[in-house]
């Protein structure tokens, strides 16, 4: 029995691969390396370079490794790009997920865990957002994910496939053992940008908006450490395998930090006084996005371990140093 991790060479996927191997699972990875890195993968994981929609390849992997569960991270993840290229996002995130689900059913895979996002919720809902909050994605990215959620719901009625949909809030941080981290060049996520600035890889940080209706005027997000997120996936896998039933659950901590707090933490931890520019709001951004994560805690017995901003930033900073060493050795 093995777990197939799609997108396993990417940021979150590579943490998942380590989480599964640490728990004694057999792991196969399928990734087309469009944004992932083969070097991010441990040698113990069987790696296949290819596309999730490639029927022959997916069937071969499932048969060869006796895959009983797929954790599906592969996809396109840059929200503004999805506005510029909606068809590309519907193709890669929706159509190819549909193809993968079809291959899974054809081969008798029983369990499917899907990476969804807080970006499916309607703007302006009452916080913290629970899973019953109105869904109305503001972007093609969010819509491309919601469509897969709905497909899974319908497919699980018609076929013997059970599923967990995990809706991530803002994922950040890196493996506390320093084995993997966020390596995407030109990433736009706040904590990555701030850590690059603190490590001297960027001249400054732009703060997009300081006139939000929040205590310090800057945006607030529910940052979840990537290792707590992968733990939630492992618990979801256990639930599905033990017949616990389908699940849709938010993954966040239920509280957030502001852009100013993130910057202050990185400055405090490094002593770096990088430049901060106050810029206009970024189109489409919300003031505050906070999860009600009670369901994941209750249904998965999930207890996060890294629920502190300094922990998230400390592991991200350590990974930036690792990347610098890797790049200078290359």
Ligand X SMILES: O=c1ccn([C@@H]2O[C@H](COP(=O)(O)OP(=O)(O)O[C@H]3O[C@H](CO)[C@@H](O)[C@H](O)[C@H]3O)[C@@H](O)[C@H]2O)c(=O)[nH]1
Ligand Y SMILES: NC(=O)c1ccc[n+]([C@@H]2O[C@H](COP(=O)([O-])OP(=O)(O)OC[C@H]3O[C@@H](n4cnc5c(N)ncnc54)[C@H](O)[C@@H]3O)[C@@H](O)[C@H]2O)c1
Catalytic residue list:
141
**Residues 62-101 contacting ligand X, CB under 6 A:** 77, 79
Decide if residue 119 touches ligand X (CB under 6 A).
yes
Decide if residue 51 touches ligand Y (CB under 6 A).
yes
Which of 11, 114, 163, 208 contacts ligand X by CB under 6 A? 208
Distances (CA, A) of 156 to 5, 58, 137, 200: 20, 20, 23, 49
3-state SS assignment for residue 92? helix
3-state SS assignment for residue 256? coil
Decide if residue 135 touches ligand Y (CB under 6 A).
no
Residue 13: name its binding partner from ligand X, ligand Y, none (Cβ under 5 to 8 Å by kind).
Answer: ligand Y
DSSP state letters, 206-249: EEE-S-SSSTTSS-EE-EEEHHHHHHHHHHHHHHHHTT---EEE
- Nearer CB in complex with ligand Y: 78/217: 78
Decide if residue 34 touches ligand Y (CB under 6 A).
yes
Which of 13, 173, 181, 254 contacts ligand Y by CB under 6 A? 13
Which of 207, 235, 240, 247 contacts ligand X by CB under 6 A? 207
Locate the DSSP E strands across the chain.
2-6, 26-31, 46-49, 67-72, 111-117, 162-168, 170-172, 204-208, 220-221, 223-225, 247-251, 257-258, 275-279, 288-289
In sequence order, the 6+-apart residues with CB closer than 8 A to the CB of 172 are: 182, 189, 190, 191, 192, 223, 224, 225, 226, 312, 313, 316
Site string for ligand Y, 165-184 (x = CB under 6 A): ---x-xx------------x
Report the alpha-carbon distance of residue 261 to residue 243 in Å, rounded. 42
Decide if residue 219 touches ligand Y (CB under 6 A).
no
| Pairing verdict, β 247-251 and 67-72 | unpaired
Residue 140: CB minimum distance to ligand Y, A: 12
Residue 25: name its binding partner from ligand X, ligand Y, none (Cβ under 5 to 8 Å by kind).
Answer: none
Residue 62: CB minimum distance to ligand Y, A: 15
Decide if residue 282 touches ligand X (CB under 6 A).
yes
> What is the contact surface with ligand X in residues (CB under 6 A)?
77, 79, 117-119, 169-170, 188-190, 193, 205-209, 219, 221, 259, 282, 285, 289
> What is the contact surface with ligand Y in residues (CB under 6 A)?
6-7, 9-13, 30-36, 51-52, 73-75, 77, 92, 96, 115, 117, 168, 170-171, 184
């Amino acid at each position: 029995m093995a777990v197939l991790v799609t997108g396993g060479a990417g940021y979150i996927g590579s943490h998942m691969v380590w989480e599964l191997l640490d728990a004694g699972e057999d792991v196969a990875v399928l990734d087309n390396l469009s944004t992932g890195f083969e070097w991010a993968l441990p040698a113990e994981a069987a790696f296949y370079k290819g596309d999730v929609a490639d029927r022959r390849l997916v069937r071969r992997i499932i048969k060869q490794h006796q895959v009983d569960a797929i954790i599906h991270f592969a996809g396109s993840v840059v929200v503004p790009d999805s506005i510029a290229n909606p068809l590309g996002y519907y193709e890669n995130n929706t159509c190819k997920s549909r193809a993968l689900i079809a291959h899974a059913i054809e081969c008798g895979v029983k369990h499917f865990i899907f990476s969804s996002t807080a970006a499916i919720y309607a703007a302006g809902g009452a916080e913290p957002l629970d899973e019953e909050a109105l869904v109305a994605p503001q972007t093609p990215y969010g819509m491309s994910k919601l469509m897969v959620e709905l497909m899974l719901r319908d497919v699980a009625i018609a076929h013997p496939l059970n599923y967990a949909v995990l809706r991530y809030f803002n994922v950040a941080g890196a493996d506390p053992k320093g084995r993997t981290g966020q390596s995407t060049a030109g990433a736009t996520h706040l904590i990555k940008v701030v850590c690059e600035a603190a490590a001297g890889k960027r001249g400054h940080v732009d703060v997009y908006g300081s006139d939000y209706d929040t205590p310090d005027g800057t945006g607030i997000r529910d940052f979840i450490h990537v290792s707590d997120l992968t733990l939630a996936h492992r618990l979801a896998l256990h639930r599905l395998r033990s017949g616990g039933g389908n699940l849709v659950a938010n993954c966040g901590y239920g509280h957030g930090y502001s852009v100013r707090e993130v910057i202050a933490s990185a400055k405090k931890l490094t002593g770096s006084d990088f430049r901060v520019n106050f810029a206009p709001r970024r189109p489409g951004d919300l003031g505050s996005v906070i999860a009600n994560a009670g369901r994941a805690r209750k249904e998965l017995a999930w207890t996060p371990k890294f629920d502190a901003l300094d922990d998230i930033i400390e592991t991200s900073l350590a990974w930036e140093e690792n990347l610098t060493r890797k790049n200078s050795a290359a």
